[in-house]
Structure 1
Amino acid sequence: MSARKRISAERRKESRKEVALAVLKNAPSSPRKMRYVADMVRGMEVFKALGVLKFSTKEASRRVEKLLLSAISNWEQKNERKAETGELFIKTISVDEGSTLKRLRPAPQGRGYRIRKRSNHVTIVVDTYKKEQEQN
């Protein structure tokens, strides 16, 4: 690894030390369905968002709920204390397109219809309200 790459990699690592995040890769649902759930909780306080996800009928909400619990746990691990109600909020939540499995379904007259089984990647970053107020 060259010196310039190493320096930028170390700088990137330093900036991520203060951030608590969780990443879900290759979730087997379309990104469009997952974005609908992500939009429901974007910017919310984390325990309120957990309540919204718990009672949502969407299948993708179960995965996002589990991921949010992981992000909260990561924050608690980095700060060495328990998260209190009203302290954390979802700073960013993004859904990116993952790999697509391409399959063929038999169709009439010897043809084949394409089936695309999509997947997605979800990233959640949680932060405290106090940090946001200090920066402003």
Structure 2
Amino acid sequence: MGARKRESANRRKEALKTQYFAKLNNVPTSPRKMRLAADMVRGMEVFKALGVLKFSNKEASQRLEKLLRSAIANWEQKNERKAESGELYISTIYVDCAAMLKRLRPAPRGRGYRIRKRSNHVTLFVDTINKNDNKN
């Protein structure tokens, strides 16, 4: 690896040390369905978002709830204290496309219809409300 590339990678790693996030890779639901659940909680306070996800009837919300709990635990681990109500919020959440499995379904007259089984990656960042207010 070249020196410039190594320096760039080290800067990126240092920037991630100050951010609190969790990633969920290769979720076997379509990105569109996952984005519907992600849009429900974007920008919310984390404990309010946990309540919204727990009582949502979407299948994707169960996976997002588990991911949000993981992000809160990551924040608690890095700060060495428990998260309090009203302190954390979801600063960024995005859903990206992942690998697509392509299958064939039998169709009439000896043909086959293509079935695309989509999957996605979800990344969720949490941040403290006080830290964000001081920047403004």
Partner of 2:36: 36
Secondary structure of the corresponding residue to residue 92 of structure 2? strand
Write out per-residue CA displacement over residues 69-127 of structure 1, whole angstroms, 9 at most, x where no aligned residue.
00000000000100000000000000000100000000000000000000000000000
Please tell me the residue identity of whatever aligns with 1:50.
Answer: L
Partner of 1:121: 121
The runs of 5 or more residues in structure 2 that have no matched partner are none
Partner of 2:103: 103
Write out per-residue CA displacement over residues 17-53 of structure 1, whole angstroms, 9 at most, x where no aligned residue.
1101000000000000000000000000000000000
Partner of 1:47: 47
The runs of 5 or more residues in structure 1 that have no matched partner are none
CA distance in 1, matches of 2:105, 2:14: 49
CA distance in 2, matches of 1:115, 1:14: 42
Moved over 6 A (4+): none
CA distance in 2, matches of 1:97, 1:10: 27
CA distance in 2, matches of 1:100, 1:3: 36
Fraction of identical pairs, as percent: 73
TM-score, L = length of structure 2? 0.99
